[in-house]
Structure 1
Amino acid sequence: MKPETYASFLSKTRRRVVGFDVLVIALSPLFANLIKWQSVFTLENRNVRDSLTILLLCLLWCFSLSQSNAWDAAGLDNRFDIYRAPLLAAGKALLIFSTYSYIFRTAFSREWVLVQIVTTIVAIIISRTLINYYFQKSITKSSKFKPITYLVVSAVHEFQSLCDEFLLSHRIKPEFVHMELDTTMSDETKGLNIYRKLVEMQAEGLILMSKASVADNILRSVQHLRQPKNLKEVVYVSQLELLNERMRPMVPRNWFRLGRPRLLDSQRLIKRALDITISFIALVLLAPFFIIIALLIKLTSKGPVFYISERVGRFNKPFRFIKFRTMIATADQERKTAIGAGVVENLTDYHSDYRITKFGKFLRRFSIDETPQFLHVLYGSMSLVGPRPILFEELSDVPNDASIRFIAKPGLTGIWQVNGRKSTLWDQRMRQDLLYVETWTFLGDIKLIIKTFFTVLKGHGAA
């Protein structure tokens, strides 16, 4: 039997924490009923609206725990974080629920809500204390774990002190492999060399020392190193503006753990729920207009109603991309003649593109041609908000340091849509995609959706 790795043990413990938390949240309303009304089930006294309110409170708890990083596997070995996160989540849940109650004037017992909140906090803390006891007991038998291998990128004279400091925040002693970079290399070459070394040694962790000629821009170049199957943790001794959202402080004051992007964690389920809800409603409301638009396209130009092409999806997987046709039927064959090959940087190239039909210009101005993509959002190949979907011929123009953009599904809208649309230059689009992936939040998506509505109405930046 192969020894278990510490990373897999953390992952297994995380699943137990999530399971206990969800169980506690589900049972807490019953306990609150027992305290308040001396009966576990009080459905005869509750109407449908109150039942939905109770369900909302439970969902708010799960949402708040997820947003507070209470289910972050990397924080399980931190005695402070396992208790701080649930308390922070309780404050968020109470604030949101209070706002909801005030706006919709719900006549709900404040005593019941208080009992439910307090009960949930106490139960979660007790369950985490028990899990932490099991956690502590397991890691004392460190021989049961397969040693973790870390690649340490630093100067030779800094290697030993770096390892000693790192052990202050880790309970299991890892194996360190040193690597020193050639300062004459370009940042891209340095990043590629680190990537190859990680794959070769199947490392589970990477430590970067900025003082050892590893500048902040190299860290951006190696963000895609989270793609190797074994790599579970990235630690750096520096601060990056782009990565602030993912920084988790460690024991040495200038040390930070680079957490996984939220789009790879359980919070992506919240994003998916929003995608399904809005795309379904949008398709139902827009269905009659789709018929009218289809008829107008057939009446104003020859060719099919829809334009279907292949785009690059999440994790570089291809998917079929559908939109209302806004160009002549032979547009793909005449692309090079009209605007040239590769990435188009100049908006005037689009404005003077003879392939766009008159009705197509109207559809493009208000992004009506993109509305069929709600089908992709509902199906799951796209998201409401995300990086801009790109063509496969544009894939070679995506720099290595921007490849992390592909951990997200392409978006119907995004930062690029509310900041210029077609008028945004390629490099700016890549930076905007990186910014979105690194700093994604649920509320951020809501803001971008609202901004998109007003941007599209104005018709700015359209081609």
Structure 2
Amino acid sequence: MALSRDVAPRPKRGPAAPFSFLFPPARPVRPKGGSGELADIREGSPTWTLAHRDSVFRRMLAVADAFSAGVAVTVAILVGGDRPKLGVVAALPLVILASKVAGLYDRDENLIRKATLDEAPALLQMATTYALVVWLVQGVFMEGILGRRQVLALWVFLFVALVVSRAVARRLAVSITEPERVLVLGDADECHELERVFQRSHAINAMVVGRVPLQEEKAGANGGNGHGRHHRPLGTFGELADLMLSQRIDRAVIAAAASPSEQVLDKIRLVKSLGIKVSVLPRLFEVVGSSVDVEDLGGVMLLGLRRYELTTSSRFLKRALDISVSAAALFLLAPVLLAIAIAIKVTSPGPVLFRQRRIGRHGKSFQMLKFRSMYDGADEMKPELHALNEADGLFKIANDPRVTPVGRLLRRVSFDELPQLVNVLRGEMSLVGPRPLVGDEDAQIKGWLRRRLDVIPGMTGVWQVHGSSRIPLREMVKMDYLYRANWSLWLDLKILLRTVPFVLSRRGI
């Protein structure tokens, strides 16, 4: 195969001079050995490699950890009213060692480049270990410079500083490194689906550059619905090696419903030998998500599917969280709720609360409460405005003429949904769960996706933190189903923590 040689090298990004130690020079990947097609490609391998990009992430995370330790130790000493002691300051490098032991600088890019909130448990464990080690070491060798109150301050501030500084470091690393270039091996629908996933994921700095069909497509076929800019293939499967070079691919994603053929496996081996990451998107993921166990049976890898049902203790913990948070929120927000009710009553005729029938757990309907944000009788105007609907499967209009001025302000910060705390207290809703759908929307959900109703619907959910108004109904329902399949108390807490910035930034409106 003739391979292209006129490939422009990737620009070397990142500041120079005093901070150049954070940004090592890009080096080409040159695997040893080989000949023929593989050797030709290696000579022109991309200069900005995954290893280099991940090295930038690791170094910036190490700097963030050292900074966090310095801040935490300084605060701990100031809490006791003392001046910094040289012995305590000398213990700062321990945080780097603790992070390394915890795997927080792992070479696996899935660990170092994931969202900071996802690694919060590991950061809490690392902060606890570091605080205990510092307490023991300074108690034995430094005559107890830090007291218990100072060690507690060290632990709290170290954890907070780690979360904040690592989030900032990752954002900075994303801004100064090139996006990971992804080639999809599959059809147009799968390519478009992956493109949407990368666009809404802030932890993954990646872009889909195109696709290559695994099987020969009919002439003139657009491949699926034609959405996106990659509905036409970049080339044929036989030209894969040349495309990897000319398009400077970092990752190849195999989106195949069936098991790959021997020819596909040969190309996978070729791509892996170039230092290009290979990922597989099995269609089974739509059903089981990440709730699988990998079993090795004599060299044969099997995927074991976990049970979906929440245990009694899990339901108790989830319900306890719902009751405690909703009751506390209603008590603390009582003045705000009263002010909103008065504003609605004064500015437009009609009731303060809007009640709408929604479909809850096991298909049982309930009356969901919201502050009325539209003029009275807005539901009767819905058929007239159907042509303005901008959502797939849902009814949403960007500048809905039925919304009152006060309602527009409430919707901007999602305060119109605060009365749903009463639904949560009643047990009709949960703080986190599947989106509660109206009857005509629920009627569109068929088959195994209806299992999403095995859990109580929520005020927020995965759909909210991924931009609820921009997600088609079927994709939103899949998110609900996967939430049910992968539920944990920590998952609920993460979604709650992510909801606030998404609402304030209006990305979920």
Q: Shorter chain as normaliser: what TM range? A: 0.3 to 0.5
Choose between structure 1 and 2: higher helix proportion.
1
Scaled by the length of structure 1, the TM-score of the pair is 0.47
Scaled by the length of structure 2, the TM-score of the pair is 0.43
